[in-house]
Amino acid sequence: ENIIEEKVDIQKLKSLDKKYYLHPTTSIHQQQENGPTVIFKEGQGIYLTDVYDDVYIDGLSSLWNVNIGHGRQEMVDAVSTQMGRLAYSSSFQGFSHDPVICLSQKIATMTPGDLNVSFFTSGGSESNETAFKLIRNYWKLKGEAERTKIIGLNRGYHGITMGATSATGIAQFQNMSTANAPDFLHAKAFQLDCELGDKSNPNYRESIRGIIEKEGADTIAAVILEPVQGAGGINIPPDGYLQAVRQLCDEYGILMIADEVITGFGRTGEMFGVNNWGVVPDVLTVAKGITSGYIQLGAVIIRETIRDELAELSSDIFFHGFTYSGHPTACAAALKNIEIVENENLVVNAKNMEAEILKGFKYLESKHPTVSKIRAIGLMGAFELFADRANEVPFEPSQMVAQKVVQECMKRKLIVRPVIFEGSNIITIAPPLITNKEQIGTIIEILSEALTVVEKELIR
Ligand code: PLP
């Protein structure tokens, strides 16, 4: 009965996948034509093994989340022990248990400022969704119910639930359904001068500040942004930008949400992305790296003062909670994961590997005429491909250049992610936080081989 247990019939697996499985963020048409891209069976360290025993480098930490790498026995043991003791219990009605208490306390010791109070979810979308509702509830209780609007950034990604999609500034996700949630606005990203108040800048009206002034500050509940944009193509803000947004929010009494679903727990070479710029948001959302994906978990971390105000303002029930809020086994996984991140100095490793990635990307830039706009922070990096890089002329979308590079990487057993955005062809990497110098070298070599093949084809 169990197809995995018996000698695996790969063709059968492929046909069952086609017949019964609807993949997330995948072309349904292509899956129906070609079946699954790869069927994996095992993971160890930065490597994934497929059913043909081919070994791939997991160059994106799967979905920017398997930070401690695959196959960690300590995680298996921690999860199994907790499952044996208390796999699940509810956190509604004030019920609690030691893993969730210990994790809440642990997070408070790690986060900047007084971001000391955690609400738990099962992922990033749920965390952002929770942040929006919690903040709107906060304003309502404070007698400012008209503060409903949330401002996100173009190219920001916040997830796929209704509010999270609406906050997302990427057209493909926005266009998935015919109607998104109201009261979500999008600002042009990284307009530092405008956020500092330069009204002469032609982009002023599209900046966060411009939008706040147009809409009226007393209608704005919060600004949400990723300290470093991930899915939008690894876009690093200019120095001073996060500070400017913090200042702007303070000026207008608007709450600032940092979406650290990718950047949280070490990815950028700091424990949290905001630490790179010394900024403390009012609400910080996390998921992914909190458990390295071993069990699904997310959190919304709020300032203690906000919790105190909420407690002061109402004794009603906080009518928001997921069945799996504070899942004991997921919390045990997070505690062990954080212990590994700390004991193995993975945040420092991420910081050190930044230079290796940049060195590698510089080599790619010197060797490949299409490569430009290289960037990295910690263990996340990207470069872009241009038909004429000196004049930033993009390739035709029909040429599928980024997709072809990624396919050539796949042939050479490296998994990386293409980001196609308004004509740009971006290649992103974010290998696990355990990745070493030599492994970065291999990633760069494979990228170079893939680029050579694609560039040859383009010239022909
Ligand atoms: N926020 C950011 C910055 C993300 O990168 C993601 C996922 O990629 C999400 C939110 C959504 O998280 P999830 O897929 O766990 O719902």
For ligand 1, what atom is nearest to the CA of residue 230? 5
Q: Is the CB of 231 under 6 A from ligand 1?
A: yes
Which numbered atom of ligand 1 lies nearest the CA of 263? 3
| Ligand 1 atom closest to the CA of 296, numbered from 1 | 15
CB 429 within 8 A of CB 348: no
Q: Which ligand 1 atom is at minimum distance from the Cα of 260?
A: 3
Q: Where are the domains of the chain?
A: 38-68+346-459, 73-343
Tens place of pLDDT for every residue, the chain, 460 residues?
455 555 569 999 999 999 999 999 999 999 999 999 999 999 999 999 999 999 999 999 999 999 999 999 999 999 999 999 999 999 999 999 999 999 999 999 999 999 999 999 999 999 999 999 999 999 999 999 999 999 999 999 999 999 999 999 999 999 988 899 999 999 999 999 999 999 999 999 999 999 999 999 999 999 999 999 999 999 999 999 999 999 999 999 999 999 999 999 999 999 999 999 999 999 999 999 999 999 999 999 999 999 999 999 999 999 999 999 999 999 999 999 999 999 999 999 999 999 999 999 999 999 999 999 999 999 999 999 999 999 999 999 999 999 999 999 999 999 999 999 888 999 999 999 999 999 999 999 999 999 999 999 987 6
CA of 158 to the centre of ligand 1 (A): 5
The CATH code belonging to domain 38-68+346-459 is 3.90.1150.10
3-class secondary structure, 152:
strand
User: Does 38-68+346-459 match 73-343 in CATH topology?
Assistant: no
Burial class (CB in 10 A: 0-12, 13-18, 19+), 387: middle
Ligand 1 centre to CA of 387 (Å) is 31
Decide if the complex's ipTM is over 0.90: yes
* CA angle, residues 201, 204, 210, in degrees to nearest 5: 155
CATH classification number, 73-343, choose in 3.40.50.10800, 3.40.640.10, 3.20.20.80, 1.10.340.30 = 3.40.640.10
DSSP 71-102: --HHHHHHHHHHHHHHS----GGG---HHHHH
Of the candidates 143, 139, 142, the one whose C-alpha atom is nearest the C-alpha of residue 183 is: 139
- Give, using CA atoms, the residue closest to atom 13 of ligand 1: 124
CA atoms within 13 A of residue 328's CA, in its CB half-sphere: 16
| pTM of the predicted protein model | 0.97
One DSSP character per residue, 309-323 reads HHHHH--S------T
The neighbour count for residue 286, using CB atoms within 10 Å, is 28
* Distance from Cα 52 to the centre of ligand 1, integer Å: 31
